[in-house]
Amino acid sequence: MKQNRLRAGTIFLACIYSIFYSCTYDQVEVPCGKQQYTYKDVDPFFQQYGCTSCHDGSPEGTLPNLSDSTAIRNYIKTNRQNFEGSVDFTGAKPMPRKFSAPAETGEKMPDSCITMIKAWICQGGK
C-alpha cells in the first residue's frame, strides 16, 4: 500500500514538474545580434574611414574592390576572415591605413562600428 502511494506521489510530482517546465517559451533571437543590419547601415563606415578611396575598383588596382555593396559581398564570400581581421586590426593587414605613415598605423574604427559590420556579415550581408 505504501509503495502504491509513493509511486502515485512520484508520478503526480513528475506530471506537475513537466507541466510547469514545459510551458516556457524560447525567445527567438536574430542570428548574430538582435538588430538586423543592411548595407545602408554599414556603408557610411566604409566611406568615413576611407576604405573606398583606395579600394575603388580601379582596373589598374590590385586592392580588393570595396566600392559598392555587390563588390564587398563578393569579396567577403571568399575572404571573410581576412576582411574582418583587417577591419578589427587583428589580421595581418589592419585597415584603414594612412599611406603617408608607416603601414602599421591607421585609425581603427570604433568597436561599435566593427561590431555592426561583423553582425551585418554574419546576417548574410544584405
Residues 6+ apart with CB under 8 A from 73: 125
**Among 7, 18, 72, 75, CA closest to 41:** 72
What is the rounded distance in angstroms from the CA atom of residue 37 to the CA atom of residue 121?
9
In a domain, 62, yes or no: yes
pLDDT of residue 108: 83
Across 98-108, average pLDDT: 56
Percent of the chain with pLDDT over 90: 33
More confident of the two residues 20 and 72? 72
Mean pLDDT of the 58-68 span: 84
| Residue 7 belongs to some domain of the structure | no
Structural domain count, the chain: 1
Enter the pTM of the model: 0.67
Residue 64 in domain: yes
Residue 10 forms part of a structural domain: no
The Cα–Cα gap between 54 and 12 comes to 71
Q: Distance from first CA to last CA of the chain, Å, rounded?
A: 67
| Residue 82: inside a domain | yes
Which residue range is the domain that position 70 belongs to? 31-122
Judge contact between 64 and 55, C-beta under 8 A. yes
Does residue 62 contact residue 122 with C-beta atoms inside 8 Å? no
Q: Could you tell me if residue 8 is inside a domain? A: no
Within a domain: residue 56? yes
Q: For residues 49-62, give the mean pLDDT.
A: 83
In a domain, 72, yes or no: yes
Look at residue 41 and tell me whether its pLDDT is greater than 90: yes
